[in-house]
Amino acid sequence: MLQGVLKKFLLILLVVVLYQNWGKIERLFNPSAVVSEEIRNQAQVVLYATDWCGYCKATRRFLDQKGIPFKEFDIEKDAEARKAYTALGGAGIPILDVNGTLIRTYDPDGIMAALKR
């Protein structure tokens, strides 16, 4: 009985870890999804988000999938991040600062356009 419970727990744990890192895993198997090295090297991306936000998770996954480096600030856990978020006119999440362009939702096309500017 204990062995069966342990197997189920390990399986659930594996699924959670895979889900949280899917963008990185996908990048390993699909290198064509990665943006050019020049764009990645010049990328200045800051993500203001929370842990529970679905759009924030989708944004993280997209950035990971494309191999785009980013700094992330949790506006619920970091008072300075909350101040910066508010200064940007924060009224929803996520907010991204992509090379100086503000993107106020999960918008893959907007992120890619801002990276190429």
Convert the pLDDT of each residue in 20-74 to its tens digit. Answer: 887 777 767 766 556 677 777 788 999 999 999 999 999 999 999 888 999 999 9
Give pLDDT, residue 12.
92
Give pLDDT, residue 67.
87
DSSP structure class, residue 33:
G
Domain 2-115 class, CATH top level: alpha beta
Sorting pLDDT into bands at 50, 70 and 90, what band is 81?
Answer: very high
